[in-house]
């Protein structure tokens, strides 16, 4: 643990994965954190050291900081913020049906803060908000607190590690001093500190997520072309990513991006662009490509088995929107499962986070191991859980009756599966032999 030169009291409003990464992260930096949530049952869970979501390293760190009294959780808003040097707002901003962000939770927190004597506390907004929101918050709190907008770049599943090791710290602020006060919390990390206006920082967040989503849709389009040309997208995109100007991260083709952030943030940004009369076609295409991408799985299945899937049982590996989480929100894996069911197929699914998930069991069966789910006609991989790649290919081949694997995340070893007698179809993967074998035989 880093021992902060001056220990601060930091109140965290909202204990979702962003708020909790902040709570654990600032406690690791040596500060005293007090968490508050509108859900009292969530607070009682956290007081007992339990978290409702799967995040690497969080359970151990939470237990440690609770016992060392660096972290506590309270059901009362005023006692959470009382005497705080920083008040971090990390509440949800979900999408409304027209694509705009629902800011009611942020507004409710600001309304609770407005009448309080905040004694010069710095209020730090970390929720993703449309440009202009932080200026309005600053106006509402003028005279009692200065406002900072600090966008978060945390990924679910690795949020604590991302918090402790940021590529950069961005602080939009009403005054340079307020921005620097917030940045000082991270000064020991020696990372770039970027202080700017509130609206610029809001746009850093929006543009970062839009760019990452665009990179994934780009990778998916290249992969779809590779499928059509019998080329290998992993070779192509791997080599493209070696160019430092491009970079290899977020160039992995698959069934598309899911989860609670990218689609919601893109829709919100498109809405803002439309309102500002700015062409949003690049972002609209990013969403459109992503919307179509999951259909590739059922198309590939039909290509192999014909249009009538009613006599087939599909073993599905993975339901969450990505490996390492227990989050099903906007999971494209669930979309693909629905499409298989709609085409008449039966589904038995395995996900390491949902061994007994009663909620899904109405529509399809849940298996309690990957190999139990592979006891099917066809195996379909929909989430990139790393443990799937470690399962012995011969054990897979011994179970999957039609000897067909559709790998929607390109996580399995195509050659080993082919050696075991399976037909392997990935996203942008050659149907027959891999390129090395091609080079050797050619």
Q: Tokens in use for 106? A: 């942020």
Task: Find the Cα–Cα–Cα–Cα dihedral 387, 393, 398, 403, rounded to 10°.
Answer: 100
322 binds ligand UGA (CB under 6 A): yes
Q: Residue 223: is it exposed, middle or buried by C-beta count within 10 angstroms (0-12/13-18/19+)? A: buried
Question: CA nearest 364: which of 386, 341, 342?
Answer: 341
Would you say 344 and 294 are in contact if contact means Cβ atoms under 8 Å apart?
Answer: no
Beta bridge partners of 315: 348, 379
- The answer to whether 202 contacts ligand UGA (rule: CB under 6 A) is no
Stretch that binds ligand UGA, among 36-44, 53-61, 116-124, 259-267 (CB under 6 A): 259-267
- Residue among 257, 317, 364, 424 that touches ligand UGA (CB under 6 A): 257
Question: Is 261 a catalytic site residue?
Answer: yes
Which range in 80-88, 258-266, 296-304, 385-393 contacts ligand UGA by CB under 6 A? 258-266
Considering only the stretches 43-51, 70-78, 209-217, 411-419, report the one whose residues sit in contact with ligand UGA under the rule CB under 6 A: 209-217
* Binding residue for ligand UGA, selected from 10, 106, 178, 216, defined by CB under 6 A: 216
CB atoms within 10 A of CB 133: 22
- Helix residue ranges per DSSP H, 230-380: 233-241, 262-275, 281-292, 295-305, 332-342, 370-373
Coil, strand, or helix at residue 71?
strand
Cβ-proximal residues to 9 (8 Å cutoff; 6+ apart), any chain? 31, 32, 33, 34, 83, 84, 85, 86
Q: Stretches 196-204, 244-252, 420-428, 429-437: which one binds ligand UGA (CB under 6 A)? A: 244-252
| Residue whose pair of structure tokens reads 């204990």 in the numeric block | 15
- Kindly tell me which residue out of 8, 9, 65, 252 binds ligand UGA, with binding defined by CB under 6 A: 252
Supply the minimum distance, in Å, between the C-beta of residue 20 and ligand UGA.
Answer: 13
Which of 25, 172, 254, 315 contacts ligand UGA by CB under 6 A? 254
Q: Which residue in 22, 183, 226, 261 is the catalytic one?
A: 261
By CB under 6 A, is residue 263 in contact with ligand UGA? no
Question: Could you tell me if 255 and 245 are in contact, meaning their C-beta atoms sit under 8 angstroms apart?
Answer: no
If the CB atoms of residues 21 and 376 are measured against ligand UGA, the closer one turns out to be: 21
- In the shown chain, the binding pattern of residues 145 to 184 toward ligand UGA, with x for contact by CB under 6 A and - for none, equals -------xxxxx----------------------------
Number of H helices, E strands in the chain: 18, 14
Per-residue interface string for the shown chain with ligand UGA, residues 31-60, x marking contact by CB under 6 A: ------------------------------
What is d(CA 416, CA 428) in angstroms, rounded to the nearest whole number?
18
Per-residue mark of binding to ligand UGA, 265-294 (x: CB under 6 A): x-----------------------------
Does 218 bind ligand UGA (CB under 6 A)? Our answer is: no
Residues marked as catalytic: 261
Note the residues at the interface with ligand UGA (CB under 6 A). Answer: 128, 152-156, 209, 212, 216, 250-252, 254, 257-259, 261-262, 265, 321-322, 384
């Amino acid at each position: 643990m880093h021992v902060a030169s001056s220990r601060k009291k930091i109140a965290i409003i909202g204990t979702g994965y962003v708020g909790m990464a902040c709570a654990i992260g600032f406690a690791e930096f040596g500060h005293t954190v007090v968490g508050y949530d509108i859900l009292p049952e969530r607070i009682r869970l956290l007081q007992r050291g339990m978290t409702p979501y799967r995040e690497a390293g969080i359970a151990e760190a939470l237990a440690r900081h609770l016992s060392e009294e660096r972290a506590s959780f309270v059901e009362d808003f005023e006692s959470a913020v009382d005497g705080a040097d920083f008040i971090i707002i990390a509440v949800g901003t979900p999408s409304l049906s027209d694509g705009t962000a629902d800011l009611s939770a942020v507004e409710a927190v600001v309304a609770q803060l407005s009448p309080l004597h905040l004694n010069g506390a710095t209020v730090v907004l970390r929720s993703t908000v449309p440009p202009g929101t932080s200026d309005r918050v600053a106006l509402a709190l003028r005279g009692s607190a200065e406002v900072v907008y600090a966008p978060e770049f945390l990924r679910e599943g690795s949020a604590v590690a991302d918090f402790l090791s940021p590529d950069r710290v961005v602080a939009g602020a009403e005054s340079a001093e307020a921005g620097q006060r917030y940045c000082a919390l991270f000064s020991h990390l020696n990372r770039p500190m970027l202080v700017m206006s509130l609206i610029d920082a809001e746009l850093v967040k929006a543009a970062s997520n839009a760019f990452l989503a665009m990179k994934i849709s780009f990778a998916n389009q290249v992969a779809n072309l590779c499928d059509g040309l019998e080329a290998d997208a992993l070779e192509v995109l791997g080599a493209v990513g070696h160019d430092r100007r491009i970079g290899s991260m977020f160039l992995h083709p698959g069934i598309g991006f899911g989860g609670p952030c990218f689609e919601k943030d893109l829709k919100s940004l498109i809405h803002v662009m439309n309102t500002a009369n700015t062409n949003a076609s690049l972002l609209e295409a990013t969403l459109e490509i992503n919307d179509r991408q999951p259909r590739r799985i059922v198309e590939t299945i039909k290509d192999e088995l014909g249009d009538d899937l009613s006599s087939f049982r599909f073993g599905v590996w993975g339901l969450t929107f990505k490996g390492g989480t227990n989050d099903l929100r906007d999971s494209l894996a669930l979309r693909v499962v629905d499409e298989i069911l709609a085409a008449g197929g039966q589904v038995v699914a395995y996900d390491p986070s949902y061994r007994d998930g009663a909620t899904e069991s109405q529509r399809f069966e849940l298996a309690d191991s990957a190999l139990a789910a592979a006891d099917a006609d066809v195996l379909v991989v929909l989430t990139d859980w790393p443990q799937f790649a470690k399962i012995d290919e011969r054990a897979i081949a011994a179970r999957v009756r039609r000897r067909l694997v559709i790998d929607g995340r390109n996580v399995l070893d195509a050659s080993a599966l082919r050696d075991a007698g399976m037909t392997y179809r990935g996203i942008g993967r050659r149907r027959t032999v891999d390129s090395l074998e091609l080079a050797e035989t050619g």
